[in-house]
């Protein structure tokens, strides 16, 4: 099948437009990657640890690190997708928000009652986190072990 002159003309017009669109899109993707170096709220950082927690047991420490530590300490382990915008922007936002609410690497006093309540109610870890980190989804026994460990580490707190 041979192309008609009109079809050939249309193809020649579409190709440069497609190429221009691809170049613009690639440029935007590159700029998106650089944003985290300029915008403070998008930085993937781990500020210095000002205090360390002495956990009551290695099991509590493991549960904390698996379910809470990435957002509520200055010892975040950023997964590979954190370095790719726009997913990395969401990760940075969630980590900074989590640290603003509770950060055991700098806060000398924590509200253990609230910590226990959000674990018991299933508010923490959030579902969006457990989708990407299935090992952070706690069984009932693990929830209870974490609650008991938080109470033993930080004090009695309320029973929520």
The residue ranges of every structural domain in the chain are 5-37, 41-154
83 contacts: CB under 8 Å, gap ≥ 6 = 44
Per-residue pLDDT of the chain (160 residues; tens, 9 = 90+): 555 555 566 666 777 888 888 899 999 888 888 888 888 888 899 999 999 999 999 999 999 999 999 999 999 999 999 999 999 999 999 999 999 999 999 977 889 999 999 999 999 999 999 999 999 999 999 999 999 999 999 987 554 4
pLDDT at position 160 is 44
Identify whether the C-beta of residue 83 lies closer than 8 Å to the C-beta of residue 122.
Answer: no
Q: CB neighbours (10 Å) of residue 91?
A: 24
| Model confidence pTM above 0.75 | yes
């Amino acid at each position: 099948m041979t192309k008609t002159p009109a079809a050939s003309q249309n193809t020649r017009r579409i190709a440069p437009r497609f190429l221009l669109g691809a170049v613009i899109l690639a440029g935007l993707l590159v700029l998106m990657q650089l944003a985290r170096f300029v915008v403070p709220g998008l930085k993937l950082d781990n500020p210095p640890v000002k205090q360390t927690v002495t956990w009551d047991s290695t099991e509590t420490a493991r549960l904390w690190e698996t379910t809470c530590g990435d957002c509520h300490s200055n010892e975040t382990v950023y997964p590979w997708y954190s370095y790719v915008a726009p997913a990395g922007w969401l990760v940075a936002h969630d980590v900074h928000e989590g640290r603003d609410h509770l950060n055991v690497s700098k806060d000398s006093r924590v509200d253990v009652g609230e910590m226990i309540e959000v674990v018991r109610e299933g508010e923490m870890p959030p579902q969006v986190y457990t989708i990407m980190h299935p090992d952070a989804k706690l069984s009932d026994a693990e929830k209870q072990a974490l609650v008991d460990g938080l109470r033993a580490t930080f004090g009695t707190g309320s029973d929520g």
